[in-house]
Amino acid sequence: MRLLENREWDSLFSAACEAMEKAYAPYSKFPVGAAALVEDGRIVSGCNVENASYGVGLCAECSLISNLVMAGGGVLTAFPCVDGHKKVLMPCGRCRQLLFEHSAEDMLLQTPSGTRTISEVLPQAFGPRELKDFYDE
Ligand code: THU
């Protein structure tokens, strides 16, 4: 696993805070910003986008993944997300699954309890490999 230098975490954290400032969260009033480092050095980010039909609101990670794919895709190696107080936030369960699909095996996440790998925060994940194994049998 490649450990990130502090300045790399700082850049990711700043990108997450910048994204959070763009959040559209008039209903929950809980803005979220997310950022991730791509294997090739790019940084992608996203914010939550809520909706008057509450249930269809999008999490910040959803916007991040859309931005990643629209920018040509890539493998994510490190990730923080922040709330409106710029405090590190734990991504929700659905978002861990969204991130898993595009994550490096040892992707690192900043969490309120320290740095964790994707497999620590989403153990025994269902992913692309399960589908491949099934169809290849
Ligand atoms: N939210 C995110 O954007 N990401 C998460 O991982 C947790 C929750 C958003 C969804 C909603 O707009 C607001 O936070 C309050 O739940």
Top pLDDT among 47 and 137 is at: 47
Q: What is the pLDDT of residues 122-137, one digit of tens each?
A: 999 999 999 998 998 7
Name the token pair of 16. 């997450």
Which pLDDT does position 36 carry in this prediction?
Answer: 98
Q: How many angstroms separate the most distant Cα atoms in the chain?
A: 49
Q: Who lines ligand 1 at CB under 6 A?
A: 25, 28, 30, 32, 48, 50, 57, 59-61, 91-92, 95
d(CA 28, CA 18) in angstroms, rounded, equals 19
Ligand 1, atom nearest to 27 Cα: 12
Name the token pair of 104. 């490096």
Q: Is 61 known to be catalytic? A: yes
Which pLDDT does position 2 carry in this prediction?
Answer: 72
Give the number of other Cβ atoms within 10 Å of residue 98's Cβ.
18
Ramachandran region, residue 129 (left: φ > 0; alpha: ψ -120 to 50; beta: rest): alpha
Residue 46's beta-bridge partner residues? 34
